[in-house]
């Protein structure tokens, strides 16, 4: 659990898909104090957009395949969902 949490934090810092507002030393300190669940929930609330992007990265291609049909039926591209455009911009 400790290794997995640090690994996800390093992944966030590596790909720069958003900001992490908690320092690694503070994270390790809270993990040593057995407050892992509480701090992880707070960390999820802070980085909910980043985690949302990472979770939808594997489904991004299916979204892109099904998206042109929706865009063709729509009157303009301004009606496209915001999270799809955000994912596409972050991936490309």
Q: Is residue 19 part of a domain?
A: yes
Whether 7 and 43 map to the same domain: the answer is yes
Look at the chain and report how many structural domains it folds into.
Answer: 2
Whether 43 and 13 map to the same domain: the answer is yes
Q: Is residue 10 part of a domain?
A: yes
CB 53 within 8 A of CB 17: yes
Whether 39 and 9 map to the same domain: the answer is yes
Q: Is residue 53 part of a domain?
A: no
Res 50: pLDDT: 58
Who contacts 27 (Cβ-Cβ below 8 Å, separation ≥6)? Answer: 5, 6, 9, 39, 43
Q: Is residue 54 part of a domain?
A: no
pLDDT digit string, tens, across residues 35-89: 556 666 666 666 665 555 555 555 554 444 444 445 455 554 544 444 444 444 4
What range does the domain containing 34 cover? 2-47
């Amino acid at each position: 659990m400790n290794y997995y949490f640090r690994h996800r934090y390093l992944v966030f810092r590596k790909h720069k898909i958003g900001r992490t507002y908690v320092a690694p030393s503070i994270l390790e300190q809270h993990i040593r104090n057995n407050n892992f669940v509480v701090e992880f929930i707070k960390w999820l609330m802070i980085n909910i957009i980043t985690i949302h992007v990472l979770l939808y990265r594997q489904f991004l291609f299916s979204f892109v395949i099904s998206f042109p049909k929706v865009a063709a039926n729509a009157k303009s591209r301004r009606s496209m969902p915001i999270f799809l455009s955000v994912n596409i911009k972050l991936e490309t």
